[in-house]
Structure 1
Amino acid sequence: MSPLRDWLDAWEAKAEDFVSGGDKAKIYRRCVRASLAEPKTVRLLGKREGVTRDAVLKRMRTTRYHRYATIQCPSTALDEAVVKLDEVRGKHERAARETPWNWRVVSSLIALGATAVLFFGGLLALGVASLAAAAVMFTLFWRGKPAWSNLMQCLVAAGLGISWLVQRYEVGQRAVGWGEDLQKGGTGPVVAQLVRHMLGEDPDSLFIPDNYDWGLRAPRAPGFVVENGARRQLESKLAHIEDGTIAVCGPRGAGKTTLLDECVKKAGFGVIAQAPATYTPHDFLLSLSVQLCEKYMRDQRYDAPRFARLSPVGRLLRGVRLQAKRLGRWSSFAVPAAALLVLGLSASVRSLYAQYATSVADFARTNAESTRSYAVEIWQGHTVVASVTAIIAGIAWWQARHAAWLPRLVGRLAMHGSRPLGLLLAWLSLGTVFLDEQIRKQAQHLYLTQQEALIKTVAVTAVLMFVWWLLRIARDSDTEFPLGRWHISLEKLFRPAAAAGGTFLLLYLIDNPQVRSLLSDTENPLRLAGIVAGVLLSKAGGWSPRPEEPELVTQCRNHLYRLQTIQQSTNGLTTGASQLLSLGSNHSTTVSTVPPNYPELVQEFRNLLRSIAFEKAEQGKTVVIAIDEVDRLGSDTQALAFLSEIKAILGVPYVYYLISVAEDVGAAFVRRGLPHRDVTDSSLDDIVHVQPSTLKESRAILAKRSQNMKDPYIILAHALSGGILRDLLRYGLQIREIQEKTQSHELTHISRHLVLEELAETFAGFRTLLSKQQWTHNTSDVLASFRTLCGYHRDPCPCTEAEMLHTLDEFAFYTDGTWPNTAAAGDQPGAAADLELTSDARQLIDEASAYAYFSLTLLDIFSIEGLERRTQLAAEHGPDGDPERLADARQELGISPYSARPLIESIRKAWSLPLGPTASSRVRPTLVNCPRHTG
């Protein structure tokens, strides 16, 4: 709902409560309707049987809920105001009945008469009329005329009517206030609670998606980072050391890259580099050096050199095209502006030239003649003192060629003196308006002859200037407000409005007759030119040429040329005696730079990084170099070899290195040389473990990315992902996809489809791995069983659901010994087939069986109604009943199926789930007519 619609609805509700006259029943019904129109409540209506708007309205109209909602918001002030209103109404009605005359007509005539006297005669006439009316009233009272009594009764009735209006306004205000309180603290919470109560058991198990869950649709979008333990630990380590190398280790998808990105963004200067497996250390360092130089040049607002594949002629043409484009844009503004200024000032300049040209020429000739005579006297030796002074001045000027104080003094005088001089010129030019006798006479004439028109012009001008000022304030604001997925900026919205307002103000002043007469003064163009010249002179004081390129930027530029180009120089020399008979030679020399080798590249990188770090340290900023994706290098041996190669660039003062590594590399560092030392002991200073998120952290992450992800779905996504951040977001989005596909809002349906889809993909992966093993005639039934399971889950059907769950049940509880029979095939391979399985095949089967056991546990927990009640019962059995244990079991599956199975069994005991094959409780009622196999 848009903010404008919310504002209109709020004012409509206030108007309805005000008009109600303090009728609490009407206000209550309005508050109930408004509470039912809340977006969070509307989303829940119609999602379960019997939970409709009419049903909720019927419940809220009962005495029980009416009393429960209104008792939360006392209406004492409104009741008192209504009682007073009734008292005033009674007095007014009695007074109106006792008046022989019509009090409305009498009061209206008196009011109209007073208004007419005030309008046509002013305050003085109204005072005189009031005194005359008072004299007449006193005369009538003195003589005891009945007209006096009748008139007084009419005035009393009118006064009581006014009192009733005032009290009615008070009742309306109290009604508006009580209505707001009732909707906020009464009907709002009561309606929300009633809807949840009518939804029955597990109201949070309803999943109702929203079109604005951008946090799930864009996993890498900024603005959704949640504080966690690893981030706090890393910031603490960075705060306690001046520089060093810290490894960030953890499982893939746990958020190591996000952690490095956030640290680089918060640093004063940071670079993040990727280390894919195809990089050699030399290539990696070359890429890192280029990134470092380009990032520093961008921070200093210098463009990095671009090495385009263009010929010299192409580069020349492109440069000419860019310069022509800039010149054309500049000329499109400069030429018309200069032409308009020349056109506007031409008459004034010609007038000044005609008036002062002769005087200026005479003054110049006089001073030139005096200077020439003085120089001739010095040349002829008639003035010895002047000659000595000229000699000293010449020597001093020559000696000052190495001193910087003179140009610096001139520059400071120009910089500090131009601003006050320009402002003085502008104010003096503006001040001549008040000294111009012709303008003063014209203004006085307008005031005397066109006073009303002049007042109107001033008022309209003030209003237009005020509106223009407001538009400029809104234009200069940095405020943005959301409108759906877009963010509307006030600056972009009000910039054309401010320009239009200023243009309209200028056109109004030019077109106004009073202002036009003042603008027609012949000296106004010259005054305006003086103001413009003064403003330009004042702005010129703040201008300074672009500073010289810093030395570090030059080093970065040279380093980029060295790393990314091959420089070649050729020199030729030809000599000869004449054009006809020539004896000479042609010598050519080619010089090409040699690309730096790895040791030289390391040294140059360290020197450059050290210079940058010292500069940033003086500014109080940190320098962070993050190296990501080291865990992609394959094995831990390759990762350690990579660390050994790049070890030479580590240890730069005031530089923090953050390196993401795999868990086994982190484990090697934690051992600290036990039983032997490796490269981690000398390369890394500390290590931060990025653990999978806890259920509390998963709640915070998904709650920030989606407001509609309720706790049961968060627990489901957390259990399936094992707390791995990447998988957590993937399952959150997958829940939404399944809801759209099934058009069901119930947890029991969504969780069933999600778990079975994951099982289908997992079994397909295991079958692919099993296909690479050696199989015999006796063991081939294992692949057939996997094919049967994959077929059940890939293409589920209601009429085969019982068979699928029975097969899955047997496979999940299979541990060792005889391979379980398949209901579809009806085969029993027996112990012989199991004995012929290779150790690798048996390991894969055990892993698949353990994962099926885990998935079956999720089905037993989430696909049965009453999750909230069963969660409370499971919590009474201790830690094994905590939903966090489900994520622990998923993590344990990544280590060993043999250690994960006992953990899953303890979870099933806490949740009171069967420890043997029994699929009957999971089978939903079979449809009479299967939508797929009807016939």
Structure 2
Amino acid sequence: MATSGFARWKAGWAYVRDFLASDVDEVYSRCVNAALADPKRARLLGKRAGVTADAVWQHMQLMPNVDRVHAASAEPLEAATEAADALRDVRQEHLDAAETTAWNWRAVCLAMVGVSITLAGLWGLWAVAAVAVAAAVALFVLTLRGSAAWPNLRQCLVTGWLSLGVLVLRVRLGIKVAEWGRELRQRGMGPVVDRSIRTLLGGDPDSLLVPDSYDGLRSPRERGYVVESAPALLLKRKLAQIQSGTIAVCGPRGAGKTTLLETCVEDADFGLLAQAPATYAPHDFLLSLSVQLCEKYVEVEGYDVPEFTRLSHVRRLLRRIWARCRKLLRWSVFALPTLAFVVLGSAAAVRSVPPERTAAAFTRLDRHVEEIGALIKETWQGQAAGTSVSLLLIAAFWWRMRRAARWHFLRRTALASGAAVGIFLCLGSLVSTLADKGVQQRIAELSPEVSLHVLAYLGLWAICRKAGEKGWRLPVGGARIAARNLFGPLSKVWLFLLLIFILRNPQTQAVLADADNPLRVAAVLIGVILLKVSDWELRPAEPALVTQCRNHLYRLQTIQMSTAAMTTGAAQVLTLGTAHTTSVSTVPPNFPELVTDFRELLSHIAATYRNRGGRVVIAIDEVDRLGSDTQALAFLSEIKAVLGVPHVHYLISVAEDVGAAFVRRGLPHRDVTDSSLDDVVYVQPATLDESRAILARRAPGLSDPYVMLAHALSGGIPRDLLRYGRHIMETQEKTQSAELTDISRGLVLQELAETLAGFRTLLSKQQWTPDTHDILNAFRNLGAHLRGACPCTELEIQFALEQFAVHSANDLRSTAHPALTDDARQLIDEAAAYAYFSLTLLDIFAAEGFDRRRQAAETHGPNGDPELLAEARQELGLSPYSARPLISAIREAWSLPLQPALAGGAVPPPRSRRCDHHPHLL
């Protein structure tokens, strides 16, 4: 709201400037500068040689661009041109008429207007008409005598009328030109300026990294950046289709299962998200889930969760006493001075009451007390039968009013009566003040200056108070301050100044010094107190379900002990007696008891929310952390007893293999998923369009080539997508370049270096012989190339990577090494396939002309679709043998060589010297 308010103010100021200028060329130049000042365009300036604000401005002065801008705003431009032509014609007529006047037409016209206004103001329009008739008769007589007064006067009037026409047409031209400028700023200028910038940028303008912001990438867990996906919509439909049940959410790690569960829990009327234990312990998990359920329900109902501390009873009692004392002290700091001021201020009003009136009131009170006492005595002695019957009926009625609803009715009736009395006191005081003739006379005697001061203070206070309620953020210096932080204190300042002025001014002091004012103020205070008391609400009794949750928490989190002792005997000379001591402690609930209590408590909660039309969702996340699918299925079989609670939806995050077991139920055998799960929602990796939507929310302005690069490296996994988005920003800061070629090369090589280091660590755990040392040497040489990567070593890295991905890995894999285990061969194949994938990404993104080559690849069919790069990355997680043919098909679609230009051989070692030109990249 603050930004839109500032934008409206800026647009209004631009409208005024265009109106004052009323020049089409000047407005055109201003619109060009305004378009260039837009942050989205300003970030592109200076990214490449020759792309500056002056160059774009000069390019926008070319006739083709001018014609495009004019064509985009043809209608308002035509209206502005017509207004300019009309103004030019009338202005020329005015100049011609002014040259032929013998008198000073300005002085004549101003004199006639001034005389007319003066006559109209003093004697009315009839005087103006009379003077006009007299002037006409005089001019007629002068004309008959051959005077040139009438022709000269007529020429002055014509010239003045034309000057008025010039003024009107000038205003019309300013409005039309300002409307044309507004049209240019909103729609006409931006696309043409963007086209000019792209033209000056040359090839691949989208390969520049110029995002608007990437705060969403730095806050991956921020809920405000979550984009609703297809699995989220599917899960909502499934929840709406069943009243209760258990739905499994499965998918690869990082696919967004946790985010999906959190969203469903937040959308539910009562939701709880629990984390599955890393180790298999159903009893502990159910105990923790029961505690969370009780605490969450107590918090939702607005009550405090009981705290179980290890402090002694004395220390807890002292803490409570100290808290009450602090509260009482704080209350006394404000209450006692207020009471003293009220007593001191109303003392004069109380003393002003005549003594005879006070004596009469006390006499009447004593008489009523004596009558009541006599009535009670007569009733007690049985002499007032009617009164006895009435009292019995009142007792029965009062006992019937013990119900909460009836008691609330009485309380509301009493409070409403008090509110009515309060309103009567406030209005009565106001009416008494306005009806007091003395107050009326003093108010009438207030000078205009005092009244203006009071009205000015009240107006400034009202304006500041109203402005403080807005959500604007005002630019002050280099910061933006909220309007409430600026205007809120100002409104209090104006109110304080008004109070000081009223108290110090003698005229307003006379109004305040009326003898009845203290009594009126006291009545108003009493009325305000009664109105405040009318809003008082009794704290409702704690619901039974909240009490049950508290008791359950005590049972689960404490061990309760009870000790009873009894001593009997007679103490004379000798002591005879017996002593008995009994100790009772609660037994912690076992697993069956936990299940029963949990189901019973959750059933009550679900029934409560069902009556309100709400939904209860219990989400269990991270079940796939248990390890294997066997452990996950065993965990499900143990907690199966708490599932299936009526009107409760369970959402369980499981691994893909558990979901696959549910899908193939009965083929060839059944397992726990058949009876535990009601449905499954698969969270698949994101498509390229979904990745665009995610990054558009988290990093607005990120161009499509970078989205494709992050999508390909992540394989569509949202968690990895955000991680690679951050890596893109880190690489841009490291390389100090905004070009796709530099950023993609740095990112891919860094990722490949880290991956190969991980493979080499795994290979170090294998058994090696002198005949197989060349395998580790190939990994070491390629890793050294990648660690020393810089623009000067592009050819060396390209050659080393080609040898490793295509030739060397194949040779190493095919070499008959008896000591080489199958696990080692598998690791070598996976590393070579990933290197082959990285080589493909480098050939696609790190070469010039990405847009041209992308369009050419799309003409080759499905293999040229950028989506296939992410599928290849996903295939690498399954098998390197199926991924390599897919990568080769992609290379063929992008016209990339399937074999390196040079013959195969070992990966050469890198050069030993460091690069002096790019030390920051090493």
What TM-score do you get using the length of structure 2 for normalisation? Answer: 0.91
- Aligned partner of 2:815 in structure 1 is 831
Change (3 A) 1:778 1:609: same
What is the aligned partner in structure 2 of residue 232 from structure 1?
233
Contact residue 814 and residue 849 of structure 1 kept, 8 A: no
**Contact 1:209–1:736, Cα closer than 8 Å, also in 2:** no
- Asked if 1:567 is matched to 2:554, the reply is no
Q: CA deviation at 1:163?
A: 2.5
- Answer with 138-147 or 877-886: which moved more: 138-147
Given the alignment of the two structures, is residue 931 of structure 1 paired with residue 920 of structure 2, yes or no?
no
SS of equivalent residue, structure 1 residue 352 = coil
Task: Tell me the amino acid that sits aligned with residue 547 of structure 1.
Answer: P
Partner of 1:699: 692
Q: Structure 1 residue 632 and structure 2 residue 625: aligned? A: yes
Q: Percent identity?
A: 51
Quote the residue 2:169 is aligned against: 167
| Alpha carbons 1:695, 1:723 under 8 Å: kept | yes
Secondary structure of 1:596 counterpart: coil
The answer to whether residue 269 in structure 2 is matched with residue 268 in structure 1 is yes
Alpha-carbon contact 2:809-2:832 (below 8 Å) kept: no
Question: How far apart, in 1, do the equivalents of 2:755 and 2:375 lie?
Answer: 106
Cα distance in 2 for partners of 1:315, 1:928 equals 69
Give how far 1:604 is off. Answer: 0.8
Map 1:905-920 onto structure 2 (within 5 A). 905-918=888-901
Name the residue aligned to 1:286: 287
Q: How does 1:840-879 map onto structure 2 within 5 Å?
A: 840-879=823-862
Cα drift, residue 475 of structure 1: 4.2
Give the deviation of 1:191 after TM superposition: 1.3
Normalised to the residue count of structure 1, the TM-score between the two structures is 0.90
Change (3 A) 1:369 1:897: closer
Q: 1:412 to 1:170 in 2, by over 3 A?
A: closer
| Letter aligned with residue 802 of structure 1 | L
Q: d(CA) in 2 for partners of 1:484 and 1:723?
A: 44
Separation of aligned partners in 1, 2:560 and 2:480: 49
The 5 A counterparts of 1:350-369 are 350-352=351-353, 354=355, 356-369=357-370
Which residue identity lines up with residue 894 of structure 1 in the other structure?
G
- For residue 439 of structure 2, what is the aligned residue in structure 1? 439
Greater Cα shift, 407-416 or 764-773: 407-416
Alignment of 1:69-468 (within 5 A): 69-74=69-74, 75-110=77-112, 117=118, 123-125=121-123, 130=128, 133-134=131-132, 136-144=134-142, 146-147=148-149, 149-210=151-212, 212-278=213-279, 280-352=281-353, 354=355, 356-371=357-372, 387-400=384-397, 402-404=399-401, 410-443=410-443, 446=445, 453-454=447-448, 457-458=450-451, 461-468=454-461
Alpha-carbon distance between aligned partners in 1 of 2:70 and 2:623, rounded to the nearest angstrom = 64
Counterpart residue identity of residue 42, structure 2: V
- 1:826 paired residue number: none
Separation of aligned partners in 2, 1:174 and 1:286: 75
Q: CA deviation at 1:157?
A: 2.9
The 8 Å contact of residues 809 and 919 in structure 1, kept in 2 or not, is answered as: no
1:721 aligned partner? 714
| 8 Å Cα contact 1:751/1:862 also seen in 2 | yes
SS of match in other structure, 1:687: strand
The change in CA–CA distance for 1:600 and 1:773 in structure 2 (over 3 A counts) is same
- Alpha-carbon separation, structure 1, partners of 2:210 and 2:5: 25
Within 5 Å, give how 1:34-73 maps onto structure 2.
34-73=34-73
- Counterpart of 1:13 in structure 2 is 14
Paired residue secondary structure (1:651): coil
Residue 223 of structure 1 aligns to a residue whose secondary structure is helix
* Cα offsets for 1:747-799 (capped at 9, x unmatched): 11111111111110110010011111111110122111111111111222455
Deviation at 1:587, TM superposition (A): 3.7
Correspondence for 2:591: 598
Q: Aligned residues, how many?
A: 903
| TM-aligned CA deviation for residue 256 of structure 1 | 0.2
When residues 172 and 915 of structure 1 are mapped into structure 2, their CA distance, relative to the original with a 3 A threshold, is: same
Structure 2 distance, partners of 1:557, 1:264, is 23
Specify every segment of 5 or more residues in structure 1 that has no aligned partner in the other structure, as ranges: 821-829
Aligned with residue 690 of structure 1, among 668, 677, 683: 683
2:401 corresponds to which letter in structure 1?
Answer: A
* Ranges in structure 2 where 5+ consecutive residues have no aligned partner: none
SS of the equivalent of 1:569 reads strand
- Contact map agreement 2:86 2:169 (CA 8 A) in 1: yes
Map of 1:823 onto structure 2: none
Q: 1:544 aligns to what?
A: 537
Tell me, in whole angstroms, the C-alpha distance in 2 between the residues paired with 1:125 and 1:809: 104
**Structure-2 residue corresponding to 1:615:** 608
After TM superposition, give the deviation of residue 90 of structure 1 in Å.
2.3
Aligned-partner residue type, residue 234 of structure 2: Q
Structure 2 residue 757 is matched with structure 1 residue 764: yes
2:424 and 2:527 in contact (8 A); partners too: yes
| 1:797-827 CA-partner distances (Å, limit 9, x unpaired) | 455443332221122124976328xxxxxxx
Which digits, 9 at most, give the CA deviation of each residue in 1:395-439, with x for residues without a partner?
435545642268566434313322223222322222222332332
RMSD: 3.1
> Tell me, what secondary structure is at the counterpart of 2:627?
coil
Q: Secondary structure at the match of 2:132?
A: helix
Q: Closer, same or farther in 2 for the Cα pair 1:342/1:712, shift >3 Å?
A: same
Q: How far did residue 255 of structure 1 move?
A: 0.2
Q: Secondary structure at the match of 1:570?
A: strand
Q: SS in structure 2 opposite 1:625?
A: strand
- Structure 1 pair 513–99 and aligned structure 2 pair: CA distance change class (3 A): farther
Q: Secondary structure at the match of 1:572?
A: strand
CA contact (8 A) 1:426 1:535 kept: yes
Q: Which AA in structure 2 matches 1:532? A: L
Alpha-carbon distance between aligned partners in 2 of 1:630 and 1:380, rounded to the nearest angstrom: 81
The residue that corresponds to 2:887 in the other structure is 904
State the Cα distance separating 1:73 from its structure 2 match: 1.9
Q: 2:274 touches 2:620 (CA, 8 Å); kept in 1?
A: yes
What does 1:745-764 correspond to in 2, within 5 Å? 745-764=738-757
Cα distance in 2 for residues equivalent to 1:765 and 1:929 = 26
The whole-number CA distance in structure 2 between the counterparts of 1:9 and 1:390 is 81
Q: 1:207 to 1:491 in 2, by over 3 A?
A: same
Per the alignment, residue 500 of structure 1 pairs with: 493
Residues 901 and 535 of structure 1: CA distance in aligned 2, closer, same or farther (over 3 Å): same
Partner of 1:887: 870
Distance in 1 between the 2:739 and 2:711 partners?
18
- 2:569·2:576 contact (CA, 8 Å) conserved in 1? yes
- Secondary structure of residue in 1 paired with 2:225: coil
CA distance, structure 2, for counterparts of residue 572 and residue 365 of structure 1: 58
Q: 1:806·1:918 contact (CA, 8 Å) conserved in 2?
A: no
Q: 1:283 to 1:154 in 2, by over 3 A?
A: same
User: Following the alignment from structure 1 to structure 2, what is the Cα–Cα distance between the partners of residues 486 and 590?
Assistant: 68
